[in-house]
Chain A
């Protein structure tokens, strides 16, 4: 079975400093991995996805993530945090079931706070 573990439930950074949100995955297959962001009382927005092409994936709003198979990690980073980055972030793996329905397996989320 596939799963994701988000190692931090809360992360707090100062505006202008780097962001690191950690995610480890477990998969029997070559996984498809996603990062979604959710602002308060809003839906989920896709930040970026990894689908077995380049291991360094660039997303929207300056975010990027690196797929490291040896470490089974897919950490999300941003060089400089902005106040508008404050939100909940979900690391997600796509559950491949060989012909059956593809489902998303969500991590428990990391709440990012950005201090002025």
Chain B
């Protein structure tokens, strides 16, 4: 089945220690998104890639970076995690970023704990 895969499902890192979260997709979608979701809140968009074109949200901290080496993979790098960065991180894809009828397909998420 075509899908969005996130690894690892659970990640523990230390305060200030860089961490990378991984997302891959077999849907061959052009767009990949990263969301941060804190407990009992809606997902918050951090940034997205349209092909290789990176688009950052205005309020995403500089501490968060992303890479997309090819169509299938996208990475979220947190350069110096703080306690406030503990959250669920969701990767999503969609066929096109300009078509509002296209839904987004979400991965299972990575739960990040910062100690």
Residue ranges of A at the interface with B (Cβ–Cβ < 8 Å): 31-32, 34, 36, 41-46, 49, 51-52, 90, 94-96, 99-104, 106-109
Residue ranges of B at the interface with A (Cβ–Cβ < 8 Å): 4, 6, 40-43, 45, 48, 50, 55, 88, 90, 92, 94, 96-109, 111
Residue on A with the closest CB to B101? A51
Contact between A49 and B106 (Cβ–Cβ < 8 Å)? no
Contact between A43 and B107 (Cβ–Cβ < 8 Å)? yes
Contact between A100 and B98 (Cβ–Cβ < 8 Å)? yes
Q: How far is the CB of B74 from chain A (nearest CB, A)?
A: 15
Which of A44, A95, A108 is close to B100, meaning CB atoms less than 8 Å apart? A95
Q: What DSSP secondary structure best describes chain B's contact surface?
A: loop
Contact between A102 and B100 (Cβ–Cβ < 8 Å)? yes
Contact between B100 and A42 (Cβ–Cβ < 8 Å)? no
Q: How far is the CB of B95 from chain A (nearest CB, A)?
A: 11
Contact between A109 and B98 (Cβ–Cβ < 8 Å)? no
Contact between B111 and A49 (Cβ–Cβ < 8 Å)? no
Contact between A106 and B106 (Cβ–Cβ < 8 Å)? no
Q: In the docked arrangement, what's the CA distance between A31 and B6, Å?
A: 30
Q: What DSSP secondary structure best describes chain A's contact surface?
A: loop
Q: How far is the CB of B110 from chain A (nearest CB, A)?
A: 10
Q: How far is the CB of B109 from chain A (nearest CB, A)?
A: 5
Q: In the docked arrangement, what's the CA distance between A87 and B99, Å?
A: 28
Residue on A with the closest CB to B100? A94
Residue on B with the closest CB to A30? B100
Contacts of B105 in A (CB 8 A): 46
Known: A32-B101, A94-B100. A44 touches B111 (CB 8 A): no
Which of B90, B96, B102 is close to A43, meaning CB atoms less than 8 Å apart? B90
Interface centre among A45, A102, A107 (most CB of B within 10 A): A102
Residue on B with the closest CB to A32? B100
Contact between B107 and A104 (Cβ–Cβ < 8 Å)? no
Known: A101-B50, A107-B42, A109-B42. A45 touches B99 (CB 8 A): no
Shortest Cβ-Cβ A-B pairs, 8 listed: A106-B42, A94-B100, A43-B106, A51-B101, A44-B106, A32-B100, A43-B108, A101-B97
